[in-house]
Every structure is written in C-alpha cells, then in structure tokens.
Amino acid sequence: MDTVAFERRVAALRQCLEAERDRVAGDMLDYPTPVPACDVDFNALIDERIRLADALARLDALRAAVLDNTPMASVWNHHPHGPGASAQGMI
C-alpha cells in the first residue's frame, strides 16, 4: 500500500470534515437566542455536529487500523458508536 497517498487522502478528508464542523459551529454561534428546546433547525445543527464528530473519530480509527493492519471489525466493535452503543453514548 502507498502510505503516503493514503495519508494524503485521509488528511484531505479530515480537512473537509473539519471545515464542515467549523461551519456548523459557526451556524450554531450565529443562531438567534434564546433557542427553544423544540427548535427543529437548531436541533438539526446539533445532530450534524454529532455526526461530524463521529465521522472524524471513525476516520481516525480507520487510519490507525490501516496503518497497523488491524482488522476493521475489531476497530468498529470497540468504537463508542459501534454495535451495542446506546443513544446516550452518542451525545
């Protein structure tokens, strides 16, 4: 495997995910206050922030697994959002 090319791709993907995370964070900061708990749009931003954080964590796990030749099933089974994770663990 070409590890240099792999690392470049991972870095590019991480940059995209981080840029999107920063955009969501900015949208949340700019959101008019007070925000009611039932605000659908703000709650969607929260959900998106959670998904982006999870995607970044999975990217890190994937990178480590590929570079260490770890079986992906092992990585996913031990990931906080993997099989058996509760909704509480995702927040």
The amino acid sitting at 15 is Q
Q: What is the pTM of this model?
A: 0.75
Distance (Å) of CA 3 to CA 8, 9, 26, 31, 86 = 8, 10, 34, 41, 34
H-helix segments, the chain: 3-30, 40-68, 72-77
Tell me the pLDDT of the chain (91 aa) as tens digits.
788 999 999 999 999 999 999 999 999 999 999 999 999 999 999 999 999 999 999 999 889 988 888 766 666 666 555 555 544 444 4
Task: Write the DSSP symbol of residue 34.
Answer: S
